[in-house]
Amino acid sequence: MKSSITKFSSLSFSVLSIALIQAVYAADDASVLDEVVVSGSRTETKLSDTPMSIGLVDEKSLKRDKPKLMGDAINRLAGVSWVDLGNEQHMMGIRQPNSTNAVYQYLEDGIPIRPLGVFNHNSLNELNLAGAERVEVVKGASSSLYGSNAVGGAVNFITAHPSSTPEATVGFRNEAVTGYQRIDTGANNTWGDMGMRFSHYSSRRSENNWQQYINGNKDSATLRTDYALSGSSLLHAVVSYNNLDSATPGSLNPVDFQLSPGKSYQTFSYRKDKTARANIGWEGETINDGLSTVTLFARDNDHGQLPNYTISACTISAACPSGYRGTINNNHVSSLGLDAKHQQEFTFLSSRLVGGLYYDLSPNTYISDNLDVTRDPATLVYTGYAPNTTYATGTRDYKTYIRNVALFAQWELSPLDKVRVVMGGRYDTINYGFVNYLTPGVDYGAANESRDFSHFSPKLGGTYSVSANTNLFVNASQGFTPPEVSQLYGKSAIPDLRPATYDSYETGLRMAFFERTLKFNATLFRLDGRDTIVSYTITPGNSENRNAGSTRSTGVEISLSYEAGKLDGRVGASLAHHQYIDYQASSTLDYSGKDMPVAPNTLTAEIGYKPIPDARLAFEVIQQSSYWMNNANTVSYSGYTLLNLRGNYKIDTAWESWIQGRNLTNQLYAETASSSYSGIGAYDALKDQYTVGAPKSLMIGLTYTFAAR
């Protein structure tokens, strides 16, 4: 499997390189690449002047397609893989395998929604997609602008502006097979110098659906206010609240995956996330051709869970009377911060300087207690739990004062008419002040301490406008990930860890044809990671975190879109190879040279047709290739192909009805499949785990919009 992927990658690189060269000279000159993005330089910039790959989901697509989940919105972008783990829980893959690793930065209006050190792969459930005007996905390392964890990419949600005239909406959707119902409401207007927009949705998933123990609720609301102080300055404020209460059914072994895909081994595990964010910013012209922005922000995140992934077997004893144990924990973060930046335009070489300061102080408390868990040996279902006060190992009660201070700058200039050069960097300093409220030791963790990290993340890139409709770019940048709080303080001894760094290289082509009805984008990339933090097993049951890994990811991302008349369509594909260059998991397990697991190639395509002006019908294909399930590359998953349907009909100027059909062929598939089999000894299929994807379902919806004319 590995050799075929490698040969396919090499062949694709060669073919694509020839195709890019030929396409450069075949471009039509009838239109201009004039899309504007903000995530590539932290200020409004033409995409043609941005030397990095940025995927965009615009307002038109969000309003038209009414995504149920975050993945419905961003998985259409080439190289983006949002994996559904149920009730908006997820993991991500952007220029990295699908994983829960802290290699992404999630932003709202350019401000991280979480502080560094407490990354959570489910963080996107802390956002209100209904309140977003657009989503921009920066692919590849972008720590020069956004700091830590911006390694595989940065996902930036831009909140929607208020409208100039009164508008209100209410919508309802229902999906019977999954037991999902949702109500959306919104209202916005501008009164003189002040505009306000309110966006909300409440979703409910009942127990009456295809899968056991998957009920969950979410309430999400965003309020944005813009106020014009004068002709050259503006105040804007955003308040966001999200409350998720979800059961967590977990994964299945191979037998139940095939014979009882709706089964759950869990009856009590859960996740409860309550998050609130607020920011207020001032933006104005402070000097000629200079624009300053100062944003104060605050966060309050509370995450409580009884995680199914910590439930494990243990030898029956006084400390483990039931033969199984688990944990219950709570993680709370409160933040106060400042993000200040200034952009200055110069006539010299048509240059622009963007620079600023970022400050974030985030106390983080964490409490974890042990549980005795009971299990039915016949059905394998975990049936109940009780507090365990005998087994002390793993009990935690600590607070970490996280402080991140950063300076960043980016200079853009045009030494030649068709050339734009971008260079910059960001210097981050990080401090963890750790306080253990329990007695330090083997059972209760490490002693109090203060630990500092620092890192400079550079960037150098450039664009070349071959013609009005053809644009080339190259980019070299670096990303870094500091040790997570849990990696440092999860055990009694504090490991000597340093930040992992990732060097990113990419070159790409953007083209438009036929008066911009047809657009083509292609990017070749390479991402080299070193000092990756891995878990090294010293002896069975005794492991520690070490900077002992290095990785390499190479690939190509291609996207094509078309819209003219009654037809529209898009294709997004990613072909990549992710490899461990160096990864020794123990004295006997060396995965160096192996492919990284859970790293499928992806393809998504859609074709839409408008039979009449106020109706659209579209079919979508989503495909994941086969991939390895374990580090040893001995167990694989075959992948899947799904067929989806979207339909919209505007009954009149106020009413719109719509349908969404998912998995129309009713394919049995896994959202993700993994195996803990090490490759040594006899293969045990019960070490394989499958997170089941939903069967065929149909969602119907109705939306009413009042808009003043």
The domain segmentation of the chain, as residue ranges, is 2-337+350-707
Q: Kindly calculate the radius of gyration of the chain based on its CA atoms and give it in whole angstroms.
A: 25
Strands 104-108 and 153-159: what pairing? parallel
- For the CA atoms of 211, 274, 272, 202, the dihedral, rounded to the nearest 10 degrees, stands at -20
Q: What is the pLDDT of residue 605?
A: 98
- Going by C-alpha positions, the residue among 557, 472, 605 that lies closest to residue 95 is 557
- Distance (Å, whole) CA 101 – CA 127: 19
* DSSP H stretches of helix in 406-560: 485-489
Token pair for residue 89?
């829980």
Paired residues of 145 in beta bridges: none
Give percent helix, percent strand, percent coil of the chain, each to the nearest 5. 10, 60, 30
Give me the architecture of the 2-337+350-707 domain, per CATH: Beta Barrel (2.40)
Task: Give the pLDDT score at 709.
Answer: 64
Element at 256 (helix H, strand E): helix 254-259
Distance CA 494, CA 446 (A): 7
Q: How far apart are CA 299 and CA 18, in angstroms?
A: 49
Read off the DSSP letter of residue 149: T
Q: Which residues contact 134 (CB under 8 A, 6 or more apart)?
A: 56, 57, 58, 59, 62, 158
- The span from the CA of 353 to the CA of 42, in Å, is 11
**How much is the pLDDT for 157?**
96
Note the pLDDT of residue 30: 34
pLDDT profile of the chain (709 residues), mean per 10? 39 36 36 74 90 95 95 96 94 96 96 95 94 96 95 96 95 97 97 96 95 96 95 92 96 97 97 97 93 97 96 94 96 98 96 97 98 96 96 95 98 96 98 96 93 97 95 97 94 91 97 91 97 83 84 97 96 97 92 96 98 96 97 97 97 96 98 95 94 97 89
Whole-prediction pTM: 0.93
Give the helix/strand (H/E) hosting 136.
strand 132-139
Q: Tokens for 651? A: 């009954």
Helix or strand run (H / E) with residue 46 = strand 45-46
Distance of CA 150 to the CA centre of its chain: 10
Note whether 513 and 563 are within 8 A (CB). Answer: no
The alpha helices in 453-568, defined as continuous H runs, are 485-489
Write b or e for each residue in 488-516: b if 16 or more Cβ atoms lie within 10 A of its Cβ, otherwise e.
Answer: bbbbeebbebebbbbbbbbbbbbbbbeeb
344-403 pLDDT per residue, tens? 999 999 999 999 999 999 999 999 999 999 999 999 999 999 999 999 998 999 999 999
Other CB atoms within 10 A of residue 117 CB: 25
Amino acid identity of 182? R
Strands (E), 231-307: 233-247, 270-287, 290-306
DSSP helix/strand/coil, 518:
strand
Compute φ and ψ for 610, nearest 5 degrees.
-110, 95
With 0-12 / 13-18 / 19 or more C-beta atoms within 10 angstroms meaning exposed / middle / buried, residue 165 is exposed
pLDDT of residue 20: 36
Q: Is the dihedral of CA 78, 84, 87, 91 positive or negative?
A: negative
Per the CB < 8 A criterion, the answer to whether 600 and 81 are in contact is: yes
